[in-house]
Structure 1
């Protein structure tokens, strides 16, 4: 089933009724509200998605009897008077997606009719399970309807009501009103009235319904019906009820008004990152009302206008700048963050420690599985984490080789197209580019190797050598699978491997001896260079570069000793920037594992917290750590942030890493892996771990043969499509991918796709929790756009 849009209509004020507990009178409250609406010459409707118990006692039947003509509907009825997950046993159970789609379809149909007001009533309490056993608070979250909370007027009701409210708040619901019955003994309405008033949420206390009369069954039923008709007649005229309905109407209108003006207000007030504002219009700004799972809920349909629906599911095709791992609005991560916020808030970290930080350091070191690593340094984002890595690398190199960085210019070795962040220090570690050409302090301190690229062209995997390097590195090489490209143990002894090593050795030797350059670190984005244009470097070239640096320390200083055994660094400290490619983004815990080498320093961020909280780690060896140890304070690594080792971030990161590790072990990605395994030739080296992607092999072959496509690749959650540029522009200055981006934004009837472009490259990225059906629908949109 396609994802549903969140519930928001101009013509229909739709609300979801939650109860603080079971048997708190949700249906009576719903009936009061429907009666009041009907009396205002408007049409009301009542929807019970799942009902359990005898049919003649069903909630929708009660509304049908007493709702003053309100339209009623029940989607799934189970006759056993127990929780839905029990009642649905041994019966045809609707999938959660199907249930949500049915609700949304029903409400959309009412919005197109003469219905003005609708209530969707849950069963039991906030966390009562739905038919599949999932908490209703999570089950109905994609709809994110505004909430009418029915509080509990009984003993213990204050606690259950506040708990219910906090559970809904934690999941991103808007609780717009609270109703409960007056009880003069417990007086919960007085306490809760003050509690919710302080949160600007109106509370209406209703007169309790009349008790059921005693007597013969027929007589009791007659008197009960008469009493209830009288009760609803009076309650529906209550001035507080009428005022509440007016407030709900106003809030619905104000919500739409805010969404309508957000893009223009943003254009007036916000300076966007990586954006040229010249020519930018308000309509170019995506208005996001909320997000859940893989989808934004975006306002405004543009060419796909649907007057009955204001919000549309939009696939988050950039994984929110590569951070999204476990889905937007993940309730487990939200709970982790709330727990840590409640336990710690933020506590300073210099000379102190807290449990989340020590647990995360231990967990991360085990997951990275690098015998060189022993110390974890915390920062708040990838750029600052790379600043720390650079300080570490340059210091240890200068100390070992006796260089004075205040008197000598120290460079780094890297790759063309690499980019390590927007802070000034690591900006120096990238070649001149669009990103830094107008940054006044940028000078560029390094040598950046050009290199062969991995891509699929015309249905065939190939390693493409740049024209100017063919004399040094040889011709392009074709491969029968992506697995074969990553079979580095075989490829190291190949002709390409020997030529790569000779070229790298010769180049470094010339840079040092002829040009007098001194190098303090080797910095690599393993496998894929992200911001530079989704460049898939031949992993053999990166492996050879690392090996040459480590095996030939004499290249960097005539006084250098022979290569030291791990975990000591040799030649230059090797820094892996895994901010983008690490932690399962490419399908494995580390991208270093694809190269078969262990770096001396590694930086992780992005997926570290599953996309919820900013956090970064720079991990280093004990030897590098000890270089900064001395009696002098000035020799220490004098770097830090106010939010270093943020307790909330560390707690969320612990849970995020545990979840991804569990998914790796329990076969959550097997369907994707099987698709790629089926395309590995029988002759492939069986010792090479399979490389796989959530994007299907068939899609790559189809797109790579399209007339407008230059090449494609996919690995892990990443898909990259390089478009041919008729103007001859390349990389970041090209606009070739804009047309495809617009086509994805238009989307299909099911959803559209938010994407980012890097020049002539359009890339798409799923989360690690993306469902196969969602990914395949994105693939359908791509095929329709390009083939």
Structure 2
């Protein structure tokens, strides 16, 4: 389980928010404090010497922060800094007696090590105090704060985790001190690549000169520069560190040393200024070069420029707020599975790219594609699926599923071969934007005006939906059921009970399908999103209705397709929507969370019976569908890593507090609430229905002010976490949603208590 620490919101507000009095940073043309994390290619390469010399050039206030120190206290790095750069505040957070790796040092001292999250929170707190000092001084200053790591880039922190992983959520720009000794070219480039693949912004590498006997000088910086300059990285050589008997203060006062570090300081501030100018330029020009999906450009407002991301958070830039952090409330369009900036994911994909690039797939195999298919068959496909067909996205994967189901139906009922077929589906469904699946839905904003070829090809049921209304779970019964009432439930547990049955569903479904068949309709497949319709407005479909629909279609020999592009792989708190229903499909479609939120990939799983329907004497009878990048190795490797990280998830998981959801359902602006797994959906009262409605915009704007990035689905506001997100993080985000929608409303409290 990964935790995305609370410290990140507060740190970014202090670092970059314009709302902190008149302190404004991350704004081009304004003197900005510079906060850097100092990394070393190895231990003993001069990180503390560099930090000390740089701090002597800084305007005040300045800060040296050492999260972890090992070795005797009299030799502590912070003590040296305070002596040589006395104007800087020098702080050590955790000290251990033995000069060994921090994890071993903590063990030898018999001290309980801090968690990685706690270590980052304490570091953020120290930086926060420094930046608050600047706020109090009301000073637009080129102050400097340095966070110095211990040992090499991949040395451990006290918990045993690699510090390059442990500190990633702080999202601080990196300054790397190279190894000037023999063998240092390799260690420096290894540290550089380790930081880069984890998403660190490494702009500069500094080596100290290393003069050997006979005045021979190693020039590691020359070799390293040849490698990294293509990435736009600057490499410098500082004057050699003096012998141990020469006081560091004398070294720093030497004109050559003083000039070098003054120039280095200017360079580092210029790098920061250039970064902010580039972000500003992208933010200004983006709307002139992009054609955005699902966006009306005539009403396009300010574009959000995303500088980086980590966990459930986005580091964004815009001209109003500068560089600031936002909760990724929409899971980057429902794809974020293992958290942004996941180091293990980056390494898995990098290895696949380096080993394969992309290789041909038909009548071939490779390890990532084989391992992912095996994992899917033993996971979401266990007990029913026999084959995995790869494609590039959810919409295409549903098209593949339809071809599979239609062939299976034709083989089972050859007398119907050649007749036009329709699907059985649910009103409000959405299965993608390719032409075939657009026809698998009723008329809506997604299809009516998009193509003259659109023709709705199905028998569609208005589904009974469930939600929290005024604190009570209810099933809203459509008119065709003959019920003139809603079903009141004791709670969501009753709704999700796999043994729950509503007899009227079965009888009315049978009656409707009988009538359609009597009029000559031929059914080719049942196509549904199990349990929750995503793009349809986060609508929770009564599971008892879907079970009845599956049972009736199966009785007629109609193949069953579950579109789990959105619902599958722990999005709903269970491994699959099928698992929540307690029934399995003939064909299942998975995408989005399949690669954890990295690259496009989709998989269509099929039963053995469906696969055998394509047996024949020639290729014409095979499944003739595919694309150039089928089963691309980097995507499959991402899928394998995502499945590995999901392995620890068990049972039906809760992420959002149900009691708070109940309170939200009583808010004045809220019509109903849906909460299931990682999804929290709130329908806002307002004019219009469907995707084109605009009632939720005012709530979205207020959430943005609270640091939550979201997009509406018509009148529906939704928030979702990753399946790996800690419950405490969800609680913090839910407090923001509660504050936005209730504002301490007395009516809300009374309705929730009723």
TM-score, normalization by structure 1:
0.85
Maintained 8 Å contact 1:21/1:124: yes
* RMSD of Structure 2 on Structure 1 (CA): 2.3
Structure 2: gaps of 5 or more residues: 1-5, 17-24, 27-31, 211-215, 743-754
Quick one: structure 1 residues 125 and 525, their matched pair in 2 at CA, closer, same or farther if it must change by over 3 Å? same
User: 1:760 aligned to 709, 715, 734, which one?
Assistant: 715
Preserved CA contact (<8 Å) 2:388 2:604: yes
Matched residue, 2:380: 368
Pair 1:200-2:232 in alignment: yes
In the alignment, the residues of structure 2 paired with residue 706 and residue 474 of structure 1 have an alpha-carbon distance, to the nearest angstrom, of 26
Alignment of 1:225-244 (within 5 A): 225=247, 229-230=250-251, 232-238=253-259, 241-244=261-264
Shift of the alpha carbon at 1:771? 2.0
CA distance in 1, matches of 2:61, 2:582: 67
Q: Over residues 601-630 of structure 1, what are the superposed CA-to-partner deviations in whole Å (9 max), with x where a residue is unaligned?
A: 000011111111211100112222122222
User: 1:458 maps to which residue?
Assistant: 470
**Match in the other structure for 1:722:** 683
CA contact (8 A) 1:522 1:575 kept: yes
Written as runs of structure 1 = structure 2, the 5 A alignment for 1:297-312 is 297-300=315-318, 302=320, 310-312=322-324
Map of 1:440-589 to 2, 5 A cutoff? 440-466=452-478, 468-471=479-482, 473=483, 475-489=485-499, 491-492=500-501, 496-497=502-503, 499-514=504-519, 516-551=520-555, 553=556, 571-589=557-575
- Measured at CA, do residues 733 and 196 of structure 1 come closer, stay the same or move farther in structure 2, by a change above 3 Å? closer
Give the match's secondary structure for 2:647.
Answer: helix
Please say if 1:424 is aligned against 2:423: no
Residue 170 of structure 2 aligns with which residue? 143
Q: Give the match for residue 279 of structure 1.
A: 299
2:78 to 49, 60, 74: 60
CA distance in 2, matches of 1:188, 1:87: 31
1:693 and 1:718 in contact (8 A); partners too: no
Contact map agreement 1:100 1:140 (CA 8 A) in 2: no
**CA distance in 2: counterparts of 1:758 and 1:133, whole angstroms:** 43
Match status 1:358 vs 2:362: no
The CA distance in 2 between the partners of 1:465 and 1:365, in whole Å, is 36
Report SS of the residue matched to 1:383: helix
| 8 A contact 1:210–1:231 mirrored in 2 | no
Aligned residue runs from structure 1 range 160-199, under 5 A: 160-183=187-210, 184=216, 186-199=218-231
C-alpha contact 2:566 2:591 (8 A) present in aligned 1:
yes
Q: Distance in 2 between matches of 1:371 and 1:87?
A: 49
Which string of whole-angstrom CA distances, capped at 9 and with x for unpartnered residues, describes residues 205-259 of structure 1? Answer: 233222234xxxxxxxxxx32x7514642443455x5544333222111111122
**Alpha-carbon distance in structure 1 between the residues aligned to 2:693 and 2:181:** 66
| Equivalent-residue separation in structure 1 for 2:600 and 2:511 (angstroms) | 41
Matched, 1:712 2:673: yes
The residue number in structure 2 matching 1:667 is: none
Shift in Å, 1:293 = 0.8
Shift of 1:474: 6.0
Partner deviation per Cα, 1:148-177 (whole Å, 9 max, x = no partner): 111112232121111100000011112111
Tell me by how many angstroms 1:397 deviates.
1.7
* Alignment pair present for 1:335 and 2:356: no
Please identify, of 339-348 and 703-712, the stretch whose mean Cα deviation from structure 2 is larger: 703-712
Contact 1:209–1:231 (CA<8 Å) still a contact in 2? no
Give me the whole-angstrom Cα distance separating, in 2, the residues matched to 1:376 and 1:599: 14
Q: Which residue does the alignment assign to 1:81?
A: 99
Moved more, 645-654 or 363-372: 363-372
Whole-angstrom CA distance in 1 between matches of 2:374 and 2:230? 42
Gap change, CA 1:174 and 1:111, over 3 Å in 2: farther
Corresponding position: 1:738 with 2:705: no
Which residue does the alignment assign to 1:100?
A: 123
Q: Note the alpha carbon deviations across 1:424-480, whole angstroms, 9 max, x for none.
A: 1111111110100112221111111112111111222111102x2242x56321111
Distance in structure 2 (CA, Å) of the matches to 1:370 and 1:121:
49
Q: Distance in 2 between matches of 1:716 and 1:272?
A: 29
Whether the 8 Å contact between 1:52 and 1:78 is mirrored in structure 2 is: yes
Instruction: Report the Cα distance in structure 1 between the residues aligned to 2:625 and 2:424, rounded to whole angstroms.
Output: 23
- Once the two structures are TM-superposed, the CA of residue 92 in structure 1 deviates from its matched residue by 6.8
TM-score, L = length of structure 2? 0.89
Aligned to 2:145: 118
Higher mean displacement: 764-773 or 25-34: 25-34
